[in-house]
Every structure is written in structure tokens, then in C-alpha cells.
């Protein structure tokens, strides 16, 4: 196995501070520019529309965490240990809870000592993992469209990036078979995730099995981002830990943000091959400490006692999905229902012609106070798509659809 599980060198460069913004824009531009533009547009819309702004651009739920979770945190906050630095050893109780949940949820055994690591959100894990396993110039693969931190992590590691375009006519299935023998041989790491953000595609276990089979034959590492594992509305979400070979070359990232509405508390975990977990652990040791034990106390309650709580969320998002699909159709923009909770994803309406997704979303929020996410923020393949998050009550979703419909008629 060719894997070097910790980078041996890093590139450090110095330049005048006046040149730094343009250098960073060249290296990290594109998708980040899309989100920056939308942030500025939403800020202006808040000044113009005030509380009438309907922001459906962020996948941040409007639902609170379970009461039991916040109660456990509140109880622990009174302890002095909650305000001290938390080293890796102090995360052991939560890692044990993670391993037990993994066993119940997927029928897989994971060692809490060597195969489980706490994270500050799954985004942090996918962004830092390439730093742990890649050398500058190594090849990494991402899906297009795909979540921005997958690209960002490879950019931070100075990797050569291979984009695998997804197509709606294929059901957004990754076309791994389309990679040439040379492309497969050059790959060092694949980073992707199903259920898929932004397309709200659940995916299937055989998609992950195909990726792992290719990884085995060509000595590739696989990082699977799985924060939506409990939010499949139709079908069963896939899991890398169910694919043969994960204990040799796989790592999977899970989060409390979506399933238990704990996004602001920034807590997640990775489960994977021992060398990969240890490499990521060493990188994290240079970058951050772990979350307060008070937050960990809430996370343990979620895993140990509220495993079925996401069922409530699925019911909520199913109602919102069906409601918004009907509201958008009534507004003159038919949008297809998606099988994953939280998002709708569809092509721009035909009335906008050749307008790209960023221009569309900027004009939409400026004119109506309704914010969607431009598909181009997730890659070239999303250029003419938009994502909207079902993070408002049904009356607000209806109002958003009506505003959009009235605006489209003016075009």
C-alpha cells in the first residue's frame, strides 16, 4: 500500500500583504466567490426588506435540538471541567458512545480508541483530512456538483483536483467507470458524500461499494462525508462502513448538526481505518482542541437515548417538501420532489433564458427578499441549478413561493 498517512512537507510562502487577496482569490476563488456574493446580497436585502427576508439558502435548520440534549449541556456547564481545554483522552466517553451507536446503527464494530475521532463539524474533518494524507501535487477526486469543503480541503493540501461530473439523466450517480486507467492510477484520494448535498440524492450502497472496489484495485483512499445519513426520506442512506475495505483505506464523517439540530454547537466525529484516524488526529492536534465536555455531554445523550429522534425530523421535512413542491408549481415553477430531507434542487426556470444561477439568485434576493443558493457554488455542473433549504415553517415557504412566482412573471 503506497499510503503515506501524514504529510512530510508543507509549502510556506511569503508575499506583500497587498498581493495576498488576489493570490488567495486565484487559489480559492470560484465557489467561495459565489457564496461571498450571496452573503453581501443577503446583507443588503436585510437592510431593504428587514424581517421580510426569507433566507432559504443555508442548510441550517430552524428547529431546536432535543430538550434532553440542551438539558444535559446545561447541567454539565456548572462543572469546572467544562471551561478547560479538552485533550483527546477526555473525549473517550463520547467515543465509546459513538462506537456503540455505529454497532447498533450499521452492525459494524469500531474501536473507540483507534478508529473514532471527534471533530468540530464534519466540514472541518473533510477540509483537514487531505492535509493528513496528501503531498503537494497528489491527485484527489471530488464530485461536481459537490460540497465546497471537499474542494477546499484538496486546495489546502495543494492537490491536483480531478472533478467527476454528475448528470441528472444518470440520477446523479457518480460515473466512476468513466475514469480512464491513467486517471485511476494517478488518484490518491476520493472525497464525496451520499446522501448528497446539493442535489438531495440519497444514493445507494452499491455506489459506495463500487468506489471502494476501485480504491482497492488502484490503492486509493476514500473519504465519505455522511452528515445526512438519518435524513433519507425515500430509501436507505448508504454508509461507507458497510463497504468491504473501509478498515484498510476508508474514513467516514458524521455530524450532530443535521440529525439532532446541533449545528451551532459544532460537534461531529469520524470513523475509519486506524492509520487514517491517527493521521487526522495528529493534524488536529496542531490546529485545535476538542469541544467542551458540556457539548460532549449533550452529544452522548443524543446517541445513547435519542437515536430515533431524527424520525421526527424526517416527518417534518417530508411535509415541508411536499408543501413547497405544490407551492412552487402553483407559482409557475414546477420543482421535482427530492428523496433527501432539507433541500430541493432543480434547474432554473425556462423563463430566465441563459441567465446563470448566481445572477438569478442575486436578482431574486434583491427584488423579492427570497434567498436561494446558486448551484454554481457547488461546481460547474450546478451552473444552471439552484438549491433551496426547507428551513422555514409552511406559511413562510408559501410566501416565498408566491414572491418568486410574481417576480418570474415580470421577467
C-alpha cell at 213: 472496489
Contact indicator for 2, 129 with CB cutoff of 8 Å? no
Q: What is the CA radius of gyration of the chain?
A: 21
The answer to whether residues 155 and 244 belong to one domain is yes
Mean pLDDT along residues 210-235: 97
The answer to whether residues 129 and 267 belong to one domain is yes
User: What is the predicted pLDDT for the residue at 223?
Assistant: 98
Q: What is the pLDDT confidence band of residue 33, given thresholds at 50, 70 and 90?
A: confident
The answer to whether residues 369 and 336 belong to one domain is yes
The answer to whether residues 399 and 258 belong to one domain is no
pTM of the model: 0.92
Rounded Cα distance, 401 and 333, in Å: 9
The answer to whether residues 281 and 183 belong to one domain is yes
Rounded Cα distance, 322 and 339, in Å: 11
**Residues with Cβ < 8 Å from 325, sequence gap 6 or more?**
335, 336, 337, 344
- CATH code: domain of residue 362: 3.90.1150.10
5, part of any domain: no
Of the given ranges (20-29, 255-264, 322-331), which has the lowest mean pLDDT? 20-29
- Residue 148, by phi and psi: left (phi above 0), alpha (psi -120 to 50) or beta? alpha
The full DSSP string for 121-190 is -HHHHHHHHHHHH--TT-EEEEEES--HHHHHHHHHTTPEEEEEE--GGGTT---GGGS-HHHHHHEEEE
% of the chain surpassing 70 pLDDT: 91
Name the residue range of residue 199's domain.
83-305
Instruction: Using the predicted structure, report yes or no on whether residue 15 has a pLDDT greater than 50.
Output: no
> Number of structural domains, the chain?
2
Pick from 243, 276, 305: which residue ends a domain? 305
Instruction: Using the predicted structure, report yes or no on whether residue 13 has a pLDDT greater than 50.
Output: no
252, part of any domain: yes
The answer to whether residues 370 and 295 belong to one domain is no
Instruction: Using the predicted structure, report yes or no on whether residue 28 has a pLDDT greater than 70.
Output: no
The answer to whether residues 171 and 236 belong to one domain is yes
User: Strands 373-374, 343-347: parallel, antiparallel or unpaired by DSSP?
Assistant: unpaired
- CATH code: domain of residue 212: 3.40.640.10
The answer to whether residues 340 and 359 belong to one domain is yes
3, part of any domain: no
Query: Helix, strand or coil for residue 201?
Result: strand
Contact indicator for 318, 387 with CB cutoff of 8 Å? no
The string of pLDDT tens digits covering residues 103-119 is: 999 999 999 999 999 99
Mean pLDDT of the chain: 92
Which residues are bridge partners to 290 per DSSP? 86
Of the given ranges (45-54, 270-279, 303-312, 397-406), which has the lowest mean pLDDT? 45-54
The answer to whether residues 186 and 256 belong to one domain is yes
12, part of any domain: no
Strands (E), 216-361: 221-225, 250-255, 268-272, 343-347
The string of pLDDT tens digits covering residues 34-60 is: 889 999 999 998 887 767 899 999 999
User: What is the predicted pLDDT for the residue at 14?
Assistant: 44
The answer to whether residues 204 and 254 belong to one domain is yes
The answer to whether residues 204 and 335 belong to one domain is no
20, part of any domain: no
The answer to whether residues 173 and 203 belong to one domain is yes
Mean pLDDT along residues 259-284: 96
234, part of any domain: yes
The string of pLDDT tens digits covering residues 206-221 is: 999 999 999 999 999 9
Query: Helix, strand or coil for residue 166?
Result: coil
Pick from 305, 321, 351: which residue ends a domain? 305
Pick from 247, 277, 305: which residue ends a domain? 305
Amino acid at each position: 500500500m503506497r499510503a503515506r498517512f501524514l504529510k512530510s512537507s508543507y509549502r510556506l510562502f511569503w508575499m506583500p500583504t497587498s498581493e495576498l487577496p488576489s493570490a488567495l482569490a486565484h487559489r480559492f476563488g470560484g465557489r467561495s466567490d459565489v457564496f461571498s456574493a450571496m452573503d453581501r446580497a443577503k446583507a443588503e436585502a436585510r437592510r431593504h426588506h428587514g424581517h421580510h427576508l426569507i433566507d432559504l439558502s443555508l442548510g441550517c435548520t430552524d428547529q431546536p435540538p432535543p430538550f434532553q440534549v440542551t438539558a444535559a449541556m446545561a447541567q454539565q456547564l456548572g462543572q469546572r471541567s467544562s471551561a478547560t481545554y479538552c485533550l483527546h483522552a477526555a473525549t473517550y466517553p463520547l467515543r465509546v458512545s459513538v462506537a456503540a451507536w455505529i454497532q447498533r446503527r450499521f452492525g459494524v464494530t469500531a474501536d473507540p480508541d483507534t478508529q473514532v475521532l471527534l471533530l468540530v463539524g464534519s466540514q472541518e474533518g473533510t477540509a483537514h483530512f487531505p492535509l493528513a494524507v496528501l503531498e503537494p501535487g497528489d491527485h484527489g477526486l471530488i464530485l461536481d456538483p459537490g460540497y465546497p469543503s471537499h474542494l477546499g480541503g484538496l486546495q489546502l493540501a495543494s492537490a491536483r483536483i480531478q472533478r467527476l461530473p454528475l448528470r441528472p439523466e444518470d440520477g446523479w450517480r457518480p460515473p466512476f467507470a468513466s475514469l480512464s486507467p491513467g486517471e485511476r492510477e494517478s488518484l490518491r484520494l476520493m472525497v464525496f458524500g451520499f446522501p448528497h448535498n446539493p442535489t438531495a440524492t440519497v444514493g445507494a450502497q452499491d455506489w459506495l461499494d463500487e468506489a471502494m472496489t476501485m480504491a482497492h484495485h488502484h490503492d486509493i483512499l476514500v473519504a465519505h462525508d455522511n452528515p445526512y445519513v438519518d435524513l433519507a426520506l425515500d430509501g436507505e442512506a448508504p454508509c461507507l462502513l458497510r463497504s468491504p475495505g473501509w478498515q484498510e483505506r476508508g474514513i467516514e464523517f458524521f455530524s450532530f448538526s443535521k440529525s439532532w439540530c446541533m449545528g451551532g454547537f459544532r460537534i461531529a466525529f469520524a470513523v475509519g481505518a486506524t492509520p487514517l484516524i491517527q493521521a487526522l488526529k495528529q493534524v488536529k492536534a496542531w490546529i485545535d482542541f476538542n469541544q467542551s465536555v458540556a457539548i460532549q455531554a449533550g452529544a452522548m445523550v443524543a446517541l445513547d437515548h435519542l437515536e430515533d429522534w431524527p424520525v421526527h425530523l424526517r416527518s417534518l421535512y417530508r411535509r415541508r417538501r411536499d408543501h413547497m413542491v405544490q407551492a412552487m408549481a402553483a407559482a409557475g415553477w414546477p420543482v421535482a420532489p427530492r428523496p433527501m430531507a432539507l433541500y430541493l434542487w432543480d434547474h432554473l426556470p425556462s423563463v430566465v433564458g441563459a441567465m446563470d444561477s448566481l445572477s438569478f439568485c442575486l436578482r431574486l434576493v434583491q427584488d423579492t427578499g427570497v434567498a436561494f443558493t446558486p448551484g454554481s457554488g457547488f461546481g460547474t455542473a450546478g451552473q444552471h441549478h439552484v438549491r433551496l433549504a426547507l428551513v422555514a415553517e409552511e406559511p413562510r415557504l408559501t410566501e416565498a413561493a408566491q414572491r418568486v412566482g410574481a417576480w418570474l412573471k415580470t421577467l
